[in-house]
Amino acid sequence: MPYTKSPRPYKHEYQMQLKRGEIPAKLERQRARRALDKKGVDRTGKDVSHNVALAKGGSNADGYRLESPAKNRSRNGHKKKKPA
């Protein structure tokens, strides 16, 4: 919801991000993107997808790959089921 009658509480928003643990995950994503850029990989129109989702305790050490945004975001943190 936009702040129309009062100034935006940036300090409070930042404190809430720290409580939720968003900042370390954000930095992991940033490191992965920069590593791909350093290798010279063209990532236009792609997402960096982690093998183990950062929200589920993963890190860059677990591995990451380039994926289309639709495929990366539609998975929603679920693993592929193996056929029976």
**What secondary structure, in 3-state letters, does the chain show?**
CCCCCCCCCHHHHHHHHHHHCHHHHHHHHHHHHHHHHHHCCCCCCCEEEECCCHHHCCCHHHCEEEECHHHHHHHCCCCCCCCC
- The proportion of the chain whose per-residue pLDDT surpasses 90, expressed as a percent, equals 60
Summarised one tens digit per residue, pLDDT across range 18-54 is: 998 888 889 999 999 999 999 999 999 999 999 998 8
- Give the distance from CA 83 to its chain's centroid: 28
- Both tokens of 75, joined, read 């998975």
Per-residue pLDDT, 3: 75
CA-closest candidate to residue 56, choices 75, 71, 37: 75
Q: What is the average pLDDT value for the chain, to the nearest integer?
A: 89
